[in-house]
Chain A
């Protein structure tokens, strides 16, 4: 039984949600109408909506190829994030010499912007012979410190007695991670999947530097290319934005419950 009525909170949340959804609606509306975004008075409902701007985007640039590249790179990044971050997160829940130093190193590395590490990252990728390849595109995003801490927080919530019982039953450390910890940390897995997917999907700078052929470009680069040689593209540009955003939004909507759980558990237990 609630002491206070909840409807004012719900009303405020509805109003906030409405305000946050306005830009999305505006992009969607412009993508089907092509109306000038500076038109006054602005029309709330699209006039004569159609889907031809989406058709234009599909054919003006090799959208399918860029989409495939983005999917491949994001899939590698997501898989690598889940595997590597889970291993790192589990290791950080164990006691070992220099653990505090490692944690401090991780935290300090979070303060270094990616732009500052681009040159060494490029040189390493080049030495590995991975320039202009899917693996090279995904390499710097194969593990992220934030996601390591999400796993660490989630693993720390597992009772030590459970881990000891698993060890007594004969499970190796690998077995403990993959057969016990991961099934208990679904929210952390979902958080890793969503964050790594969105970061990889939206990444612009690294693909710009590491790709050499047009066939290896990803969607953000395609958007820049599209903007560079098309004029009067209000409708098509917004359609392109919708097409780029849609997979990320869909993934978020599908896994939002686990995503929020993962973030909140990380917030209170880290």
Chain B
């Protein structure tokens, strides 16, 4: 069906206008975001634990605390390897805190880690530093 006044088909005018273009753009952004989320929502939290001299700490206990409505509760723990690295799996939250401790070496205060979606895979940029042991 051709609209003679405007020289374009009715379907073209219905589909190619600012309303449809904005809606389609939003839909595309949402779709891309959801694809990204589906590839990065394994609930993996990675990081390192070091002492005050910056040396990796083996055998430190790393705790994952999760916001439960209004307070943080401990969900799971992991032990660091020889290189001081730890991997926590199964985090299902978007608002977590990470703390670490090793008797004799010290304790790292819990640091808040904010995620953009639940179970987002994250690698902590700064290591947890044990002190006060």
Contact = CB atoms under 8 A, between A and B. Distances in A.
Contacts of A231: 70
Nearest to A59: B94
A250 B94 CA distance: 28
Interface in B49-74: 70
Given A231-B70, A250-B22, A254-B18, A59 B118 contact: yes
Interface string A43-54: 000000011100
A56 interface: yes
A123 interface: no
A55 B117 CA distance: 7
Interface of A: 50-52, 55-56, 59, 231, 250, 254-255
A51 B95 contact: no
A191 to B, nearest CB: 15
Given A50-B114, A231-B70, A55 B94 contact: yes
Chain B interface bracket (under 10, 10 to 19, 20 to 34, 35 or more): 10 to 19
B22 A254 contact: yes
Interface string B106-120: 000000001111100
A165 B129 CA distance: 85
A37 to B, nearest CB: 21
A124 B117 CA distance: 43
The prevalent SS among residues of A at the interface is: helix
Given A55-B116, A254-B18, 17 more contacts: A50-B114, A51-B116, A52-B114, A52-B116, A55-B94, A55-B114, A55-B115, A55-B117, A56-B94, A56-B95, A59-B94, A59-B118, A231-B70, A250-B22, A254-B19, A254-B22, A255-B19
Interface in B66-125: 70, 94-95, 114-118
Nearest to B17: A254
Nearest to A53: B114
B11 to A, nearest CB: 16
Contacts of A55: 94, 114-117
Nearest to A232: B70
A225 to B, nearest CB: 14
Contacts of A59: 94, 118
A231 B95 CA distance: 16
B8 to A, nearest CB: 15
Nearest to A56: B95
